[in-house]
Amino acid sequence: MTISVDCTTNLGAMFSGSASLTFDAIHDLDSSLAAIAGNYDDEGSTLTVSGDGAIFEQDPVTECVLSGQLSVIDPNVNVYAVTTSVDNCVELDAVFNGSTFEGLAILDTDADPDELVFAVTGEVDGETIAVLLIVTAI
Protein backbone atom coordinates (compact mmCIF):
# COMPACT_ATOMS: atom_id res chain seq x y z
CA MET A 1 0.00 0.00 0.00
CA THR A 2 1.26 3.48 -0.80
CA ILE A 3 0.10 6.63 0.95
CA SER A 4 0.59 10.07 -0.58
CA VAL A 5 0.04 13.39 1.20
CA ASP A 6 0.05 17.06 0.25
CA CYS A 7 0.32 19.39 3.25
CA THR A 8 0.26 23.10 3.92
CA THR A 9 1.55 24.44 7.25
CA ASN A 10 -0.09 27.24 9.24
CA LEU A 11 2.56 29.55 7.76
CA GLY A 12 1.71 28.56 4.17
CA ALA A 13 4.68 26.29 3.46
CA MET A 14 3.71 23.36 1.24
CA PHE A 15 5.21 19.91 0.99
CA SER A 16 4.33 16.52 -0.44
CA GLY A 17 5.38 13.03 0.48
CA SER A 18 4.58 9.39 0.14
CA ALA A 19 5.24 6.18 2.01
CA SER A 20 4.92 2.53 1.11
CA LEU A 21 3.48 0.27 3.78
CA THR A 22 3.86 -3.49 4.02
CA PHE A 23 2.35 -6.01 6.43
CA ASP A 24 4.66 -7.34 9.15
CA ALA A 25 3.79 -10.65 10.82
CA ILE A 26 4.94 -9.20 14.17
CA HIS A 27 1.45 -7.66 14.25
CA ASP A 28 -0.05 -11.15 14.70
CA LEU A 29 1.83 -11.91 17.93
CA ASP A 30 -0.26 -12.16 21.08
CA SER A 31 -0.14 -9.22 23.49
CA SER A 32 -0.17 -9.21 27.28
CA LEU A 33 1.01 -6.95 30.06
CA ALA A 34 3.32 -9.74 31.21
CA ALA A 35 5.03 -9.73 27.80
CA ILE A 36 5.96 -6.04 28.02
CA ALA A 37 6.69 -5.78 31.76
CA GLY A 38 10.31 -4.97 32.51
CA ASN A 39 12.99 -2.32 32.21
CA TYR A 40 13.98 -0.63 28.96
CA ASP A 41 16.96 1.56 28.07
CA ASP A 42 15.99 4.99 26.74
CA GLU A 43 19.38 6.45 25.78
CA GLY A 44 20.73 6.16 29.32
CA SER A 45 17.47 6.57 31.23
CA THR A 46 15.47 3.56 32.37
CA LEU A 47 11.83 3.28 31.38
CA THR A 48 9.98 0.78 33.59
CA VAL A 49 6.79 -1.03 32.64
CA SER A 50 5.24 -2.75 35.67
CA GLY A 51 3.13 -5.90 35.56
CA ASP A 52 -0.08 -3.86 35.54
CA GLY A 53 1.12 -1.79 32.56
CA ALA A 54 2.11 1.34 34.50
CA ILE A 55 4.94 3.29 32.84
CA PHE A 56 7.57 5.33 34.71
CA GLU A 57 10.77 7.10 33.67
CA GLN A 58 12.75 10.03 35.05
CA ASP A 59 15.39 11.64 32.88
CA PRO A 60 18.51 12.42 34.97
CA VAL A 61 19.37 15.50 32.90
CA THR A 62 16.02 17.23 32.27
CA GLU A 63 14.45 15.80 35.46
CA CYS A 64 11.30 15.16 33.37
CA VAL A 65 9.06 12.44 34.79
CA LEU A 66 7.14 10.34 32.29
CA SER A 67 4.28 8.35 33.77
CA GLY A 68 1.35 6.59 32.23
CA GLN A 69 -0.32 3.36 31.28
CA LEU A 70 -0.03 0.67 28.62
CA SER A 71 -3.08 -1.52 28.06
CA VAL A 72 -3.91 -4.49 25.87
CA ILE A 73 -6.31 -3.61 23.04
CA ASP A 74 -6.80 -7.17 21.76
CA PRO A 75 -4.83 -10.12 23.22
CA ASN A 76 -4.52 -11.64 19.72
CA VAL A 77 -2.75 -8.60 18.25
CA ASN A 78 0.63 -7.05 19.14
CA VAL A 79 -0.65 -3.50 19.64
CA TYR A 80 -1.04 -1.69 22.96
CA ALA A 81 -2.85 1.55 23.85
CA VAL A 82 -0.61 4.17 25.49
CA THR A 83 -1.44 7.19 27.63
CA THR A 84 1.34 9.22 29.25
CA SER A 85 1.95 12.53 30.94
CA VAL A 86 5.11 14.56 31.47
CA ASP A 87 5.87 16.61 34.59
CA ASN A 88 8.72 17.94 36.75
CA CYS A 89 10.85 19.17 33.80
CA VAL A 90 13.29 22.01 34.50
CA GLU A 91 14.72 24.92 32.54
CA LEU A 92 14.04 24.80 28.77
CA ASP A 93 12.20 21.48 29.07
CA ALA A 94 9.65 22.97 31.50
CA VAL A 95 7.43 23.62 28.47
CA PHE A 96 6.60 19.88 28.55
CA ASN A 97 5.15 20.01 32.09
CA GLY A 98 1.50 18.99 32.12
CA SER A 99 1.61 17.56 28.60
CA THR A 100 -0.27 14.36 27.87
CA PHE A 101 0.37 11.97 25.00
CA GLU A 102 -1.77 9.15 23.60
CA GLY A 103 -1.11 6.57 20.94
CA LEU A 104 -0.01 3.03 20.29
CA ALA A 105 2.91 0.75 21.09
CA ILE A 106 4.21 -2.59 19.82
CA LEU A 107 6.72 -5.08 21.19
CA ASP A 108 9.33 -5.80 18.51
CA THR A 109 10.56 -9.30 19.28
CA ASP A 110 12.51 -9.43 15.99
CA ALA A 111 14.99 -6.98 17.54
CA ASP A 112 17.71 -8.39 19.79
CA PRO A 113 17.19 -7.45 22.55
CA ASP A 114 13.44 -6.79 22.28
CA GLU A 115 12.33 -3.22 21.62
CA LEU A 116 9.18 -1.44 22.74
CA VAL A 117 8.11 1.06 20.08
CA PHE A 118 5.81 3.97 20.99
CA ALA A 119 4.04 6.25 18.49
CA VAL A 120 2.15 8.99 20.34
CA THR A 121 0.80 12.49 19.81
CA GLY A 122 0.19 15.26 22.28
CA GLU A 123 -0.01 18.99 22.73
CA VAL A 124 2.96 21.00 23.98
CA ASP A 125 2.69 24.76 24.42
CA GLY A 126 -0.37 24.86 22.15
CA GLU A 127 1.22 22.84 19.34
CA THR A 128 0.43 19.22 18.45
CA ILE A 129 3.54 17.08 18.21
CA ALA A 130 4.16 13.46 17.29
CA VAL A 131 6.77 11.33 19.06
CA LEU A 132 8.27 8.02 17.96
CA LEU A 133 10.15 6.46 20.88
CA ILE A 134 12.04 3.16 20.67
CA VAL A 135 13.37 1.71 23.94
CA THR A 136 15.46 -1.45 24.29
CA ALA A 137 14.89 -4.23 26.83
CA ILE A 138 17.58 -4.36 29.52
Does 38 map to a domain? yes
Does 33 map to a domain? yes
- pLDDT tens digits, one per residue of 42-53: 999 999 999 999
From the list 74, 85, 93, 136, the residue with the least C-alpha distance to 111 is 136
**pLDDT at residue 7 in the model:** 86
Whichever domain contains 78, its CATH number is: 2.40.128.30
Does 95 map to a domain? yes
Does 2 map to a domain? no
For residue 127, CA distances in Å to 70, 130, 137 come to 24, 10, 31
- pLDDT tens digits, one per residue of 4-21: 989 888 888 998 999 898
